Amino acid sequence: MTNTGSSERAFPQADTTLMLSLIHGNARAFELDLSGLRVVVPADNGYLAAAATLALVAGAASVTAITPQTNRFRSAEEAAEATLALASLAGLNRNLSIEERIDHQTCRTTNLLVSSDPIRPVTRSIIERLPDRAVVALLHEAWMSIKGEVDVEACREHGVPISAVNESHPLVGGADYQPALCLELFSVAEVAVANAAVALICDNPLADNLERGLREAGAQVVVFSRADLVFEHSWDAVVLALRPMDEPRLGIRDLGLIAKAAPEATIIQYWGDIDRKAARYFELTVWPPRTPGKGQWGLPLETLGPEPVLRRITGALKAAQLILSGAPTQPGGLAQILAPNDVFDED
């Protein structure tokens, strides 16, 4: 799952010891080995701050952490401080540098580049400066990629592979945290799951995990690949789980149809944007009531605490390690390679 934007949830300073324990535990469990590699990761004041220390614990020769631009939601200074604090606690801060951007010299020496805010989009100008031995690492599955995240054509031209992580791999645990995040949305929306009639709009691999999680929580679930297929019923909730596009996945036309099919239902945005102005016009209830940000998840994975975030980060770094070493990918394996047809383009 791909909430790859910078976290808005800062972790308490007291949590640094817990996070360091999780970092070491995950590095061992995944057998993560980045020995000798030069790595670029995001700096963050949330759980993503662990990426830098995780790479150093795994033997990276150096790590450069790129800070976000300061705005009313996040602070570059706080991101730098949180990222440095973890590395310092591990005694590895001497090999960590905090920078505002990726300069040309950093590009020329980077072996592993993590694609996440504030590093992305990973543009042609970055890719063409990477050394012969380099990989761009996604913090999500290959099929979740959206056009513009990474210049795939430039990577192909310059022989730079793009690694992705199988979030449903047992070590990563997406089969557990994906439905858990959905159930958390029901909780904050104050929609009882037990015995609820749920229309799940999903046309991608998330469907199986979300449907299973909802059913295990007691919901009655019907999966629809498109919003216009939802039939009239006494639905308690309509869950949207479609990859974002330039236009909202639930626009005025689809919301008009849902207003007829499920007028009393709460529309829950798991993934995929909703035209909230149109929803208000049809007097539909949407959760979250305000958009979490274009292309973002209804709730960030950080809502579930540090463990799922750390497992996904470790999985992504391990996938990059495997791809960089030339290890073959296989169905159900941890590592994936992004192919051009994996990138979502509504055109």
pLDDT at residue 346 greater than cutoff 70: no
Instruction: Measure the CA–CA gap between 223 and 207, rounded to whole angstroms.
Output: 7
Grade residue 52 by pLDDT with cuts at 50, 70 and 90. Answer: very high
Q: Using CA atoms, how far apart are residues 155 and 256, in angstroms rounded to an integer?
A: 42
pLDDT tens-digit readout, 239-249: 999 999 989 99
pLDDT of residue 147: 82
Residue 16: predicted pLDDT: 85
Tell me if 336 sits within 8 A of 137, measured CB to CB. no
Calculate the CA 317 to chain-centre distance: 14
Report how far residue 309's alpha carbon sits from residue 116's, in angstroms, rounded to the nearest whole number. 13
- Please state, for a pLDDT cut of 70, what percent of the chain lies above it: 94
The percent of residues in the chain predicted with pLDDT above 90, rounded, is: 86
Task: Pull the structure tokens for residue 171.
Answer: 């070590």
E-assigned strands of the chain?
Answer: 38-42, 62-66, 96-99, 112-115, 135-138, 162-165, 197-201, 220-224, 237-241, 266-271, 285-287, 335-337
Backbone angles phi, psi at 264, to 5 degrees: -100, 0
Q: Are the CB atoms for 19 and 48 separated by under 8 Å?
A: no
Inform me whether the pLDDT recorded for 144 exceeds 90: yes
Tokens of 24: 């070491």
Helix boundaries (H) for 247-305: 252-261, 276-281
Report which of 47, 68, 52 is spatially closest to residue 117, judged by C-alpha positions.
Answer: 68
CA 34/CA 39 separation, integer angstroms: 9
> Which DSSP string do the residues of 102-170 spell out, in sequence order?
--HHHHHH-SEEEE-TTT-SB-HHHHTTS-SS-EEEESS-GGG-BTTSB-HHHHHHHT--EEEE-TTST
Phi, psi of 108 (to 5 degrees): -70, -20
pLDDT digits (tens, 9 = 90+) for 279-329: 999 999 999 999 998 889 999 999 999 999 999 999 999 999 999 999 999
What does the alpha-carbon distance between residue 76 and residue 241 come to, in Å, rounded to a whole number? 31
Check: CB of residue 250 under 8 Å from CB of residue 284.
Answer: no
pLDDT in tens, 64-93: 999 998 887 789 999 999 999 999 999 999
Amino acid identity, residue 172? V
Q: What is the pTM of this model?
A: 0.92
pLDDT at residue 12 is higher than 60: no
What is the per-residue pLDDT for 17?
86
What are the tens digits of pLDDT across the range 170-198?
999 999 999 999 999 999 999 999 999 99
Cβ-Cβ contacts under 8 Å for 90 (sequence gap 6 or more): 20, 23, 53, 56, 57
Going by pLDDT thresholds of 50, 70 and 90, the confidence category of residue 117 is confident
> What sign for the dihedral angle of Cα 152, 153, 157, 158?
negative
239-to-105, 139, 197, 214 alpha-carbon distances in Å: 46, 24, 11, 11
